[in-house]
Structure 1
Amino acid sequence: MKEFSKRVVTGIVGVLLLILIVQKGEFYLATSIFILSLIGLWEFYNALKNINIKPVETIGYLGAIGIFISSVNSYFPISAILTFVTLTLLISLVLNKDTTLQDISATLLSIVYIPFLFSHIYYLDGTKYIWLIFIMGFGTDTFAYIFGHLFGKNKLAPKISPNKTIEGSFGGIIGSLVFTVIFSLYFELEPLWKLVFLAIVVSILSQIGDLVASRIKRLARIKDYGFIMPGHGGVLDRFDSIIFCAPLIYYYVTYFLN
């Protein structure tokens, strides 16, 4: 019960802080995403070290800085940042005999997986659609937890995440749908059927994102990525679904809703 209370209190504080940052937007939002990306990279690198993978951390953090700069200044396109990072990693493979192909591959993956995918949140800054990222992502997580706790019997992926159930997964989709419909009706977002479709797809993808993070944790033999959020673990424990669904929502809004 003590752990549950800690989880609830941390969740409430986190949601209030999230609302404040998203409402402020612009530099506040970009900086917050950047900080979360740095912490996420740190957690990811520590996890990989458990299985003898040694990412080129300096280049990883520089990549995160480059993506942050690209987000707030369109003069530096993201393609240029990723090109620079890729070339630098390949050069490091030549200059440092201790660096392996596995190490630079993990480094590039970390940059794309964490700061790059995270940055899509900022691309929706100043629009109502940015809230869909958190409504769908956290709505899925919350309802999946509730439905799984109340009705869960059939395991979803027992070898990856033993506590997740098929019933909880369906509950997550329902949560995403309910919150999305309420939000869309209140703010008169249209067409509703496209948003309903998006809510279902995003919910499924966010759960896949959760399973991906769990799979990496199992490979690295760790329970949580970090401890920065009491009761929730680290940044990658809490935002694993958000990282996956943010890009999908951004591109869907850009090409199908606008």
Structure 2
Amino acid sequence: MRLRIITAVFGIPLLLGIVLSGGWILKLAIGVMTLVGLYEFYTVMEKKAHPIKYIGYIYTMLFTFFVFPYDEWYFVFFMCFLFTLLLSIIFFHQKYNIIDVAVTFIGFFYVCILFFYVQKVRNLEYGEYFVWLIFISAWGSDTLAYFTGITIGKHKLCPQLSPKKTVEGALGGIVGGSLLSLIYGIIVTYITEIPIIYFPAICSIIGGTGAIVSQLGDLTASSVKRYVNIKDYGNLFPGHGGVLDRFDSILFTAPLVYYSIIVLNLIF
């Protein structure tokens, strides 16, 4: 616990500075975290497959520096990536197979594409306000789910994947994520002149749904770790584990927040 607190004390101000800066600073930070996270994923999956790591790393850097945020190039990029992977099992068929191609591609999509939704949200109009809902709905709900679980938790949520999670804790996390996001929306409305109608209510809805999705993200990571029989993906963050241990829920909440804003813009 002491290590977790120390890491948070140093990590939270750094996160605040990077996200507030946005632009190339945020893009570079996400790119670095993506490469580390992809390394963690490929490394643990080597217990079950042979991911074609160097191709995954090369295309991650190409995506970071040349493709993102140009959505119109995504299809061409994915086709080139997949084509390169398929060619590799022709020229290196004695070492790699179609399972290795699938693991390599899924790892890239899971880590790189989902991670960059943080910047996609930040780049939206008023994204400097909406982007924090990603972290509030993920980490805020996780904290409240933890304390709710250890206080009143009795019914196991998914013992095969995460023995300590309870139904009560999950519900507490959802309610907590919604309330924390509502409070955040009220504060932003009070101290800024953001011209979005019902901003606190919008934040509350996104926070609640984000809390649900964040728990799914956490269980997904737990499922992978159970499959390869490991406790943590890495140890980059003392007391927290690796990039994927710390950001597994973020990878799910970031796209949820992004598309929620798109839908709400269409409605309002």
TM-score, structure 2 length as denominator? 0.90
Asked if structure 1 preserves the Cα contact closer than 8 Å seen for 2:154 and 2:168, the reply is yes
Q: Which residue of 2 aligns with 1:91?
A: 87
Note closer, same or farther for the CA distance 1:236–1:157 as it changes in structure 2 (3 Å cut): same
Question: Percent sequence identity over matched residues?
Answer: 35
- CA distance 1:91–1:250, change in 2 (3 Å): same
Distance 1:206 1:75 in 2: 25
**In the TM superposition, what are the counterparts of 1:1-258 in structure 2 within 5 Å?**
4-51=1-48, 53-70=49-66, 74=70, 77-97=73-93, 98-126=95-123, 127=127, 128-188=129-189, 189-191=196-198, 192-257=200-265
CA 1:85–1:249: 2 relative to 1, 3 Å: same
The 8 Å contact of residues 70 and 76 in structure 1, kept in 2 or not, is answered as no
Check whether the contact 1:71–1:119 (CA below 8 A) recurs between aligned residues.
no
Segments of 4+ moved more than 6 angstroms = none
Q: Distance in 1 between matches of 2:261 and 2:88?
A: 39
- List runs of 5+ in structure 2 lacking aligned partners: 190-195
Q: Secondary structure at the match of 1:226?
A: coil
Aligned residue pair count: 254
Task: Note the alpha carbon deviations across 1:104-148, whole angstroms, 9 max, x for none.
Answer: 000000011000011111112252111111111111111111111
3-state DSSP class of the match of 2:164?
strand
Q: CA deviation at 1:71?
A: 5.7
Is the deviation greater in 178-187 or in 103-112?
178-187
Bigger CA drift: 229-238 or 61-70? 61-70
TM-score (ref. length: structure 1): 0.93
Looking at structure 1, the residues matched to 33 and 180 of structure 2 have their Cα atoms a distance apart, in angstroms, of 25
Q: Deviations over 1:154-189 (max 9, x none)?
A: 111100011111111111112211211011112235
- How far does residue 94 in structure 1 lie from its aligned partner after superposition? 1.2
Work out the CA distance in 1 between the residues paired with 2:67 and 2:172. 35
- Structure 1 residues 79-111: Cα deviation after superposition (integer angstroms, max 9, x where no partner): 222121111111111111121110000000001
CA contact (8 A) 2:145 2:169 kept: yes
Q: 1:195: how far off?
A: 3.2
The structural deviation recorded for 1:70 is: 4.3
Q: In structure 1, the residue corresponding to 2:249 is in which secondary structure?
A: helix
Report the more deviating stretch, 122-131 or 223-232. 122-131
Q: Is the 8 A contact 1:56 1:104 kept in 2?
A: yes
